[in-house]
Structure 1
Amino acid sequence: MTQPLISVIVPCYNVEEYLPRCVESVLNQTYRNLEILLVDDGSPDRCGEICDGYAAVDSRVKVIHKENGGLSDARNVALDVMKGEYVTFVDSDDYVAADYVEYLYKLIVKEKACLSVMNFQPFVEGTMPKDCGGEIAINIFSVEGALIQMFYQQAFDTAACGKMYHSLLFDEVRYPKNLLYEDLATTYRLIMKCSQIVCSDYRGYFYLHRSTSIEGTPFKPLKYESCMRIIRQLEADKVRMPERVRRALDCRIVSFAFHILLEVPQEEKEMRRSLLEIIRRKRIHVLFDGKARRKARAACLLSLAGVWLVNLFVGYGKSRKVD
């Protein structure tokens, strides 16, 4: 049986230290019929040169050099030119197991799904990912079930990576430019176009925690602006969702608002007021939602006494973390 072409999109920006490990993990896939799109997003380091080097030795590699436009723009440029029947994303500071593509593809074929998902194996810079082992569970979800699982952050989350998509899902769907947290604004729209989704506990995507990632960098207004724009989009699309999905989405919105609120400096009173208003409108529903994450429910409960108590709780939790 002829293997369909699968596109692997790797946006590259300022990651020359990590890029070779990432690209070589893609080149060494057990699934061979690949189109590997390396997008040099105007990187100031040697990323473009490294990408060109791989293209010179492997015909499956295609390099796109462009002015810096951010992660969404880099993904979108590749989506516009890809030729694969299926597509998956790998971030350039991460890497994947040798059977990453084959595993996700076989899930789609076996379960006649439009989208497959696997779990991440996170690791900290300077360490190696742990071997989790154990039995691998596979679950099939309807669109409604998948959205509920994702918005409650249970079986999987909104990340673009660690998933394989039928390319037709991206007809009329692109990642929003000039926003952070772009996956949250996009993945649910792709799921809403599916017939069913298959999700596996297999951890074949190795996710690097870096201090220079979006989550590791100090607060900047774009975090708040992105949060508010995405929440407005989610609220607008919520009217098309079943009641159970809307409840799960409210929980995700509250978690997102708390996440940004705890980063906003005290002097940014208008930003804090807007985020608190979102939380106040929804926190009672989240507090009494038995399916909501315990962290979200605890934050809602503590916020009744004041955000200072939420900050204290979060600070205490961080102080107890073990490297």
Structure 2
Amino acid sequence: MSPPRISVLLPIYKVEDYVEDCLDSLLSQSCTDFEIIAVDDSSPDRSGEIAARILAQQDRIPWKLVRNTDNKGLAETRKIAALEARGDYVLCVDSDDRVHHDLIRTVLREAEQHDADVVVFAAESISPDGTVNYDIASGDGIISGVEAVQKILELRMQAFCWNKLVRRSIFVAAEHPCGLIFEDVCVSVQTLANAKVVRLIPDKLYSYMLRESGISRRFNPQIVDLFAIIDWVERSTASLPIVDYKRLFFRLKYMWAYRAIAFQTAITAPTYQLASPILQSVSEKLRAKHLLGMLADRRLKLPILMTMLKIHPWFFYCFVRRFNRR
């Protein structure tokens, strides 16, 4: 029997309440030309056991379950799964999310029709109560990998791994940062930069389930990983032929990443004592030229608030908490 065309990479960690729904959405696909490579990342709960039971109860979709002897983190676990995979393409799925029943059929059709290295599809963010928070658009067309990277720098394309079908050889060759959050940004930039053909389709094929324990919903000191991630992105994109690169990267670094670190910390940290070291780290990296650059970009409110942060993080923390009550 020939290997399946697509390998679904499914890291499993602390998802015992959600993994069954995720697997049900995968096992009910309208196309069966795929396999599931699940990796139990030394989960402390019954997630791996539940996944093994559900997968063993069916023989429609080939599967394999790998167990990490110690916790590796999301990026390295995906890489482990990719090395076990047999498909021409890989598809990352988070084990607490759900996918559309035509996901495999649709992305495989588009990849074959256009000989695409990457297929990017739309998604939706879903609240715990089932309501749709927002749509994650992808566009419609055929572009080069460098053009796709430019879209990420322009903040017109999301750098998630889970809304992209990627040729396995490209995915495996990418560097997967170990131990960092926001690792999707690094992996997506690499895979897109090394892709010749990127197919964008508008189909909403993935449901990203917004959990209370998610990165954007709770205080996480590891948000400072964004400093390292953005520096890495700069090293890997500076040589690409991207139009207006310096301005675009300035926006990504200071008006997205630095802003995200500062605002998310101020909003989610329960006390100033917890927020202070992180806010101070952003303040120390900001220079007058960065604030002037924000102002020159006609973003009046942001440079005012970031100037407040530069003067003293406590002023910034109090102001953001006052006007961003959750």
User: Shorter-chain TM-score: which interval?
Assistant: 0.7 to 0.9
Q: 1:5 to 1:304 in 2, by over 3 A?
A: closer
* Deviation for aligned residue 1:19: 0.6
Pair 1:169-2:170 in alignment: yes
Secondary structure of 1:69's aligned partner: coil
Q: C-alpha distance in 2, partners of 1:54/1:65? A: 16
Of 242-251 and 194-203, more deviation after overlay is shown by: 242-251
1:287–1:101 Cα change, 3 Å: farther
Partners of 1:43 and 1:27 in 2: CA distance: 22
Counterpart in 1 of 2:98? 95
The two structures, once aligned, show a CA RMSD in angstroms of 2.9
Q: Is 71-80 or 238-247 further displaced after alignment?
A: 238-247
8 Å contact 1:9–1:75 — kept in the other structure? yes
CA distance in 2, matches of 1:196, 1:287: 37
Residue 312 (structure 1) shift: 6.9
How many equivalent pairs are there?
308
Query: Equivalences for 1:284-303 in 2 at 5 Å?
Result: 284-289=292-297, 297-298=299-300, 300-303=302-305
**Greater share of residues in helix:** 2
Whether the 8 Å contact between 1:151 and 1:157 is mirrored in structure 2 is: no
Residue matched to 1:86 = 89
- TM-score of the superposition, structure 2-length normalised? 0.83
**Residue number in structure 2 paired with 1:276:** 283
* Cα deviation, residue 45, structure 1: 1.4
- Is it true that 1:49 corresponds to 2:86 in the alignment? no
Say if 2:177 and 2:186, in contact at 8 Å, map to a contact too: yes
* Pair 1:44–1:146, CA change in 2 (3 A): same
Instruction: Measure, in 1, the Cα distance between the counterparts of 2:318 and 2:200.
Output: 36
Could you say which residue in structure 1 is the equivalent of 2:181? 180
Q: Tell me by how many angstroms 1:236 deviates.
A: 2.1
Of 233-242 and 274-283, more deviation after overlay is shown by 274-283
1:190-232 C-alpha deviation (Å, 9 max, x unpaired):
1110112122232111011111012222232x321x1222122
Q: Any idea what the Cα deviations from partners look like across 1:26-63, whole Å, max 9, x if unmatched? A: 11111211110111111111111112112322341211
C-alpha distance in 1 between matches for 2:121 and 2:322:
32
Q: Partners in 2 of 1:98 and 1:313 — Cα distance? A: 45
Equivalent residue for 2:230?
231
1:123 counterpart = 2:126: yes
Can you give the 5+ residue segments of structure 2 that lack an aligned partner in the other structure?
none
Change in 2 beyond 3 A, CA 1:279/1:183: farther
In structure 2, C-alpha distance between the alignment counterparts of 1:44 and 1:171, rounded to whole Å: 27
Q: Which residue of 1 aligns with 2:34?
A: 34
Q: TM-score, normalised by structure 1?
A: 0.84
Query: What is aligned with 1:62?
Result: 64
SS of residue paired to 1:184: helix
Distance change (3 Å), C-alpha of 1:149 and 1:53:
same
Three-state SS of the structure 1 residue aligned to 2:185 is coil
Structure 1 residues 5 and 269: CA distance shift in structure 2, 3 A: same
Distance in 1 between residues matched to 2:71 and 2:223, nearest whole Å:
19
Work out the CA distance in 1 between the residues paired with 2:305 and 2:249: 19
Q: Distance in 2 between matches of 1:202 and 1:138?
A: 9
Distance 1:110 1:126, change over 3 A: same
Letter in 2 for 1:276: S
Pairwise CA distance, 1:311: 5.5
SS class of match (1:165) = strand
Whole-angstrom CA distance in 2 between matches of 1:136 and 1:237: 23
Identity among equivalent positions (%) equals 23
* Bigger Cα displacement from structure 2, 56-65 vs 205-214: 56-65
> Do the aligned residues in 1 keep the contact of 2:189 with 2:233 (CA within 8 Å)?
no
Q: How many angstroms apart in 2 are the aligned matches of 1:282 and 1:112?
A: 42
1:50-106 deviations in Å (ceiling 9; x for gaps): 121123223412111112221112111101211110010111111000011222222
Q: 3-state DSSP class of the match of 1:211?
A: coil
Distance change in 2, residues 1:74/1:314 (3 Å): same
1:276, distance to aligned residue in structure 2 (A): 3.1
Contact kept, 8 Å, 1:6 with 1:87, in 2: the verdict is yes
Once the two structures are overlaid, the 10-residue window that deviates more, 85-94 or 56-65, is: 56-65
**In structure 2, which of residues 149, 152, 165 is the aligned counterpart of residue 150 of structure 1?**
152
Is contact 1:96-1:206 (8 Å) kept? yes
